[in-house]
Structure 1
Amino acid sequence: MVDVLTEIIIHSPCEKVSEYAANPDNAPKWYVNIKSVEWKTQKPLSIGSNIAFKAKFLGRDLAYIYQVIDYIPGKKLIMKTAQGPFPMETTYTWESLDDNSTRMTLRNKGIPTGFSKVFAPFMSLMMNRANNKDLKKIKSILETKR
């Protein structure tokens, strides 16, 4: 099992942070590995939405579709791969600490199958590094846009 939980404090209102992070169109701007996003269902984001992502991770091109399985605007977003090479669930949470500070968490968990089982510990380490970079990037973007 791969289960990576990262978090960061962003000095920006919770509403602003959650709206930006929950918008798949913004993902290539703050995720280091995501190269493109394509909506497979109509906007806006809601439970049941399907979004296709193209990414590069550990030198490999990946294409997968996430389906939104839970969404509470301003609080939580959970997406699960509907198809792709590695069954994965991604959870975002946002918690207002005060009028201008938000705790954002990013959790990725999944069960590697086949050959990738061997690399699960390495994948966890690499995902942790990538997630921390991504959270630092979104923090930089949102704190600059004040």
Structure 2
Amino acid sequence: MTVDVEVHTTIGRPRPQVAAYCCEPANITAWNANIRAVQRDSPSPVEVGSRLHFTSGFLGRTLEYTYEVVELVPDERFVMRSDRSPFRMETTYLWSDDENGGTWMTVRNRGEPTAFAGLAAPLLATAVRRATAKDLARLKSILEAANLS
């Protein structure tokens, strides 16, 4: 079963601020409701090759997996990939400037979440899309309310 979901939002903050916040593992649990914990398996700062161990809850299951950063273009693109069960997924964050000085952000999740093999792909894709949209709304709210310099 393959899932490929893309969700977008506009955030009223400059792209470097949005990207910096999203690429800091310590911030992930604040805006991603399903992520319970993130542990660095590599020293700071996050760079290509960095490994991040995630504990998450999704659709009633607790999942543990490690993402490796496979691409990082500062303020433009951040790609993490886990190629082991139970969560063979790639997550991509893309940032671009919008016409009002804010940031157009895309989150794409694609792969084969083997932990949910009994669930039909369209149902799983809907659940992933819904969760990602809520996470982006939470991120937007946090960043637009924050006093970032």
Residue 118 of structure 1 and its aligned partner are, at CA, apart by: 4.2
Deviations 1:57-86 (A, max 9, x none): 001001100000000110000000153402
Q: CA deviation at 1:98?
A: 4.6
CA 1:20–1:140: 2 relative to 1, 3 Å: same
Q: Is 1:6 equivalent to 2:7 in the alignment?
A: yes
TM-score by length of 2: 0.92
Letter in structure 2 aligned against 1:7: H
RMSD across aligned positions (CA): 1.6
Gaps of at least 5 residues in structure 2 are: none
Q: Write out the 4+ residue segments of structure 1 that deviate beyond 2 Å after TM superposition.
A: 111-115
Structure 1 unaligned regions, length at least 5: none
Corresponding residue for 1:69?
Answer: 70
User: In 2, are the aligned partners of 1:64 and 1:82 still within 8 Å (CA)?
Assistant: no
1:100-130 CA-to-partner distances (Å, cap 9, x unmatched) read 3000000000024486164322110000000
- For the 8 Å contact 2:86–2:115, the answer to whether it is kept is no
Residue matched to 1:29:
30
The SS at the match of 1:83 is: coil
Q: What is the TM-score when the length of structure 1 is the normalising length?
A: 0.94
